[in-house]
Copies of this chain bind each other. A is one copy, B any other.
Amino acid sequence: MQITSRFTIAVHIITAIDYFKDSETVTSNFLAGSVGTNPVIIRTVMGKLKDASIIEISQGKSGIALAKKLSDITFYDVYKALDCVDEAGLFHFHEEPNIDCPVGRNIHSAMEAELQSIQDAMENRMKEITIADIADDVREKIRIAG
């Protein structure tokens, strides 16, 4: 079980849009080259980031730009934009516990709040991390090692 690579691709994209904004025309083809994947993957990820008002996209030759400051884009924003975990929740509950069994008919509601608290712990941590943290680290690594 893993959270889709589209999440790390999205963080990569946002970081690259910022890094190359003054030196390159940033397109889905350009980003696909940096990420190492297909331009269609990039465009679907970009579409979701656009829907979440994280980036701005104009067709033609104008390229892509950020809609917010990097320090205002959290991991949680990206995670939600890409719908990494849907409304069903992080945990997959077995669907047919036996309601004729006293444990079977009560186990779901007994676990629900605890499972949610685990998901909340993960998501709350994601709200504390911004893309600026990553972009700053990338720039520092480039400065040191090239």
Contact = CB atoms under 8 A, between A and B. Distances in A.
The main secondary structure of chain A at its interface with chain B is: helix
Interface stretch (A29-37, A48-56, A61-69): A29-37
A15 interface: yes
Given A1-B2, A1-B3, A34 B125 contact: no
A85 B20 CA distance: 35
B90 A2 contact: yes
Interface of A: 1-5, 7-9, 11-12, 15-16, 19-20, 33-37, 75, 84-85, 88-98, 101-104, 106-107, 109-111, 114-115, 117-119, 121-122, 124-126, 129, 133-134, 137-138, 141-142, 145-146
Given A134-B110, A138-B106, A97 B34 contact: yes
B11 A111 contact: yes
A103 B18 CA distance: 10
A85 B2 contact: yes
Contacts of A3: 1, 90-92
A111 B121 CA distance: 19
Contact of A37 (B85, B96, B134): B96
A144 to B, nearest CB: 10
Contact of A36 (B84, B96, B111): B96
A117 B33 CA distance: 29
